[in-house]
Structure 1
Amino acid sequence: MHFLILILLLGIGESEAVLWQKLSCPFEPEHKDLLRVWCRQSSAGCCTGLTFSQSAQLVDGGRLRVTHDTQSFSVEVVNPDRKGVYWCGVLSSNNTIIRLAEGIFYDSLGAYIWSFARWILLPFLPTVTVFVYKCSARL
């Protein structure tokens, strides 16, 4: 029972732990010289964010760590400001973002853990409810 309470507190509480979240962005050979893009989805086909060069390793004051290879780049984010869908991509010659990948990023360790734990705990909810009911009926 204490474990269940701990999980629930993690899901709703804030955490000061550093959480790196990563998105891998594979690209076509013809895109290797284009500016890279990192942005947060603001509506169905739009996003707001920033661009950076093919050689950048730390972006946005060190909040983004970028690694590059010949066919992809990866962006690691430390504690995003806001939960949401983030894109990585390249900026075409006509200033259109070519989206390469997208992922859901969480703004706290608790939210990140809860996003997985809730699906694990969901099947146990009826069992715990019946157990608590039966135990309280005996008292």
Structure 2
Amino acid sequence: MNLITAFLLMILIGHSTSDHLQTLVCPYENRNISQSRRVWCKRDVQDENCCTGFSFQLGTGVLHLEDGNIQVQDDGKAFTISIKTLAQGDGVYWCGFMTADKIIVKLAENYFSTAPFNFVWSILRWILFILLPLMTISFHIYSNRKHGDAKTT
């Protein structure tokens, strides 16, 4: 039972990347992308093939957009977008690049939320991660002690 709980907890901890600063990694393989305009947009609720946002040219270093609420970094294999606040609200956001024909090529997408649960979960998951082994060890010691007392009587 404890192994199942530990496994589920590890999946949740590994899967949830939500923190006060939400991020999306946009990997690319083609070297020509480094010359292309990057895209950050929110997927349209009515048409999943459309999105609303903006494009930008990424140089070297860190790029700050929307009054510092969006930070973009590129390491040559991927560019990472870090979000403090969402101007367009909760939803599925894309990152990608724009071709010369003005076609957006989506590299990655993720659901971003302004709900405080994301921040709370980012802290709570580590507390649970620490408590799980402590509870397992305590239960093991308690059950060994209980079985030891039963054998001596």
Using the size of structure 2 for normalisation, the TM-score is: 0.59
Q: Which residue of 2 aligns with 1:84?
A: 91
> Residues 94 and 78 (structure 1 numbering): CA distance in 2 closer, same or farther, change over 3 Å?
same
Gaps of 5+ in 1: 1-17, 118-139
Q: Please give the alpha-carbon distance, in whole angstroms, between the structure 2 residues aligned to 1:60 and 1:75.
A: 12
Tell me the CA shift for residue 109 of structure 1: 2.0
Q: Which has a greater percent of strand?
A: 1
1:75 paired to 2:77:
no
Q: Which has a greater percent of helix?
A: 2
Tell me the CA shift for residue 79 of structure 1: 2.3
Match of 1:36 among 38, 45, 64: 38
Equivalent position amino acid for 2:34 in 1: K
Q: Which residue of 1 aligns with 2:140?
A: none
Q: Please give the alpha-carbon distance, in whole angstroms, between the structure 2 residues aligned to 1:70 and 1:111.
A: 29
Runs (4+) of structure 1 exceeding 4 A deviation are 111-114
1:39-58 equivalences in 2 (<5 Å): 39-42=41-44, 43-55=47-59, 57-58=63-64
User: Does the residue aligned with 2:111 lie in a helix, a strand or coil?
Assistant: strand
Report % sequence identity.
30
> Residues 112 and 45 (structure 1 numbering): CA distance in 2 closer, same or farther, change over 3 Å?
farther
Using the size of structure 1 for normalisation, the TM-score is: 0.64
Please identify the structure whose Cα radius of gyration is greater.
2
Alignment RMSD (CA, Å): 2.4
User: Does the residue aligned with 2:117 lie in a helix, a strand or coil?
Assistant: helix
The count of aligned residue pairs is 100
Tell me the CA shift for residue 112 of structure 1: 5.9
